[in-house]
Structure 1
Amino acid sequence: MIPDNKETATYAPTMTLAMAHKRAQMLDDIRQFFTARQILEVQTPLLSQAGNTDTFLQSVAAQVVYQDKPRTYYLHTSPEFAMKRLLASWQVAIYQICPVFRDNEIGTRHNIEFTMLEWYQPHYSLTDLADELGKLLEMLYGHSVIMNHYRYVDAFMDFVGVHPLTASIEVLQAVVKDKNLIGFDFCVDDNSSKDKENNNEDSRQSWLDLLFSHAVEPNLGHDSPTLITEYPSATAALAKTALDKDGNRVAMRFELYINGVEIANAYDELADGQALRQRFEQDNVLRRQSGLPPMPIDEYLLAACDELPPCSGIAVGIDRLLMVITGAKNLQEVITFPSGRA
């Protein structure tokens, strides 16, 4: 919100000078960590002709003039697409620290613009990447870190009480009502009939996401950093899928939680341009059904995917990581100017 007059304007940053020093030191430490491991720092464009098709991530559009013609570009929601093009060409480990943008995300842990660390390791498994993440955390914390590994299924059953991969939409809706979560994100009273008619994996996943974010996440990572593994296959995005020990198809990915806060998201990367095209096209079908505009698909990424080496990649929220390391309670404490005062 722009202040009405100079008297009501507060020009000062929401972050203290002391916190600014801590942030600068953390960024310097991260760069030293990757330099020591011979991982190349790269920089890719913030603006892209393509957007993110994910129905839960809304891109910020920018109207530009290119060769005297008006065009719509999008501020990236992560540097993933462009970094994979570099990885396909250069075949070496790379990392990037950059601002990213996600529309309509404001809160104690959210801001439209935030800072992301993302890196990719050719020929790394998810286990290898988790080990490297642990070493980075140890360096930033200044002491040894033992990470807890927790399957999505087990965490869901422990804190929600139903099996997330086999429970019906009706059961999930009943649990939402029982936990008094009606009103978060969408309402079961008005939309339940539509969900029943569309009884598919995508609507199931919406209910799972609601329950996981409100009933599971707050309990994670308080005793030690926790990796949630083997997510439902509907959340695979750009990750591979595989069968778990019970024969259920799951996404080959993990997320890091510390003190109930999601910090990082990692994939065993899917290097199959045709399969990704199908996922992006299905995303756009869901966007239309949800009243969202379809997004242009990144053809450059699809062309690069078939040349990607086997690899794993991870995105880390720098602002949130600084929050949990310093004990800050609000994102505004670790950034200079939140979107409402930018």
Structure 2
Amino acid sequence: MNTSTSQQSDRLQAIRARAILYQHIREFFGQRQVLEVETPILQATAHSDNRAMIVQQHITGEHSSDPQISLQTSPALAMQQLLACGCGAIYQICKVFQHTNNVHEHKRKHSSEFSMLAWYTPDATFTQLMQDSQDLLAHVFGYEFDIETISYQDIFARRLDMNPHQADLKQLKNLARRVGLNINYGEDRLAWLDGLFCHFVEPTLGYNQPMFLTDFPVEKTAAAQTDINDDDMAVAAKFNLYIDGLKLVSGQVTQAEQVIENQQTILKQGRIFFGLDRLLMLLMDKHRIDQVMSFSSPMR
């Protein structure tokens, strides 16, 4: 079989695998009577969102450059607005577009255009979101997962012998120098924390068994509900699910302000995002995200 024929065969395999995956996802939500929705891909974007891909004005038919119009980095806002209408639990399979500056991540596990499953549930608890994620994975794979749960603080202590909630900028810089992280994040404490996590913690997660990582720093997840951990420290009610070093799922309990019948109301919502291309990587036993894409995007 020549290279061209082999590539065509691989692409057809990815197309069929994706179709089967989406069929299983819709079966799962149909059994739970969760409503499938669709929201706009174009959105007004804050100038500070450096992940956004700005769309040229002639495409949108607008001449003003303020606000900027971009391809969505997340369907979160539109789906929160639907929840405020009282439609109950909802989900959608959609395209999301995000810049990344990490060349290694871009090639192996990230594409500028990728597919996401977004699932919102009114009044969901943190424990319920973790169980819901586990149930969907079991439906897709056809068997139950035994998932380890560990906090962001404990995994940092295990891998780098540091408490990420208490470490100051100087301590993070010293740690980065000791472990050989040759990147300068200036005086941005969170950037140093993210750099250490992305290079020395995240790639090790979920290999012995799938892992829920919980209790993130509140500074990193402004929209999430705040809880208190065993050390009486404020943490974000958020989790990530890792399998074989891939972040597959992100979930959190959010508290959003909505105006309902002219009254300001706080709505608690459970939000789960699945990376569908990464899920296909696991299902097909592939090591790069481009191996499961059925198209060749000019943005990749």
Equivalent in 262, 265, 268 of residue 250 of structure 2:
265
CA distance in 2, matches of 1:67, 1:155: 49
**Deviation for aligned residue 1:206:** 1.3
Q: In 1, are the aligned partners of 2:277 and 2:293 still within 8 Å (CA)? A: yes
CA distance in 1, matches of 2:64, 2:208: 52
Q: Identity, % of aligned pairs?
A: 32
1:83-140 CA deviation, whole Å, 9 max, x = no partner? 0000011240000100010124632111110000000111210110110110111111
In the alignment, does 2:25 pair up with 1:30?
yes
CA separation of 1:250/1:38 partners in 2, compared to 1, >3 Å: closer, same or farther?
same
Q: In 1, are the aligned partners of 2:229 and 2:235 still within 8 Å (CA)? A: yes
Equivalent in 318, 334, 339 of residue 276 of structure 2:
318
1:41-68 CA deviation, whole Å, 9 max, x = no partner? 00000001234855xx510011235666
CA separation of 1:214/1:250 partners in 2, compared to 1, >3 Å: closer, same or farther?
same
Q: In 2, are the aligned partners of 1:84 and 1:308 still within 8 Å (CA)? A: no
**Structure with the greater relative contact order (CA < 8 A, sep ≥ 6): 1 or 2?**
1
Q: How does 1:135-174 map to 2 (within 5 A)?
A: 135-174=135-174
Q: Flag as ranges the 4+ runs of structure 1 deviating above 6 A.
A: none
Q: Secondary structure at the match of 1:312?
A: strand
Number of residue pairs matched? 289
Structure 2: give runs of 5+ residues left out of the alignment. Answer: 1-6
> What is the identity, as a one-letter code, of the residue corresponding to 1:247?
D
Map of 1:283 onto structure 2: none
> What's the TM-score once normalised by structure 2's chain length?
0.88
Map of 1:58 onto structure 2: 51
> What is the identity, as a one-letter code, of the residue corresponding to 2:236?
A
Map of 2:4 onto structure 1: none
Map of 1:330 onto structure 2: 288
Q: Secondary structure at the match of 2:247?
A: strand
Q: In 1, are the aligned partners of 2:257 and 2:267 still within 8 Å (CA)? A: no
CA distance in 1, matches of 2:229, 2:107: 35
CA distance in 1, matches of 2:190, 2:52: 21
> What is the identity, as a one-letter code, of the residue corresponding to 2:54?
A
CA distance in 2, matches of 1:307, 1:162: 39
Q: How does 1:146-295 map to 2 (within 5 A)?
A: 146-183=146-183, 187=184, 191=186, 195=187, 203-272=188-257
Q: Secondary structure at the match of 1:143?
A: coil
Q: In 1, are the aligned partners of 2:113 and 2:299 still within 8 Å (CA)? A: no
CA distance in 1, matches of 2:145, 2:296: 31
Map of 1:98 onto structure 2: 94
CA distance in 1, matches of 2:85, 2:139: 31
> Which structure features the higher share of strand residues?
2
> What's the TM-score once normalised by structure 1's chain length?
0.78
CA separation of 1:21/1:172 partners in 2, compared to 1, >3 Å: closer, same or farther?
same
**Deviation for aligned residue 1:32:** 0.8
Map of 2:63 onto structure 1: 69
CA separation of 1:68/1:131 partners in 2, compared to 1, >3 Å: closer, same or farther?
closer
CA distance in 2, matches of 1:232, 1:226: 18
Structure 1: give runs of 5+ residues left out of the alignment. Answer: 1-11, 196-202, 274-300
Instruction: Let me know the Cα RMSD of the aligned residues.
Output: 2.7
1:120-172 CA deviation, whole Å, 9 max, x = no partner? 11121011011011011111111111211110000010001111111121111
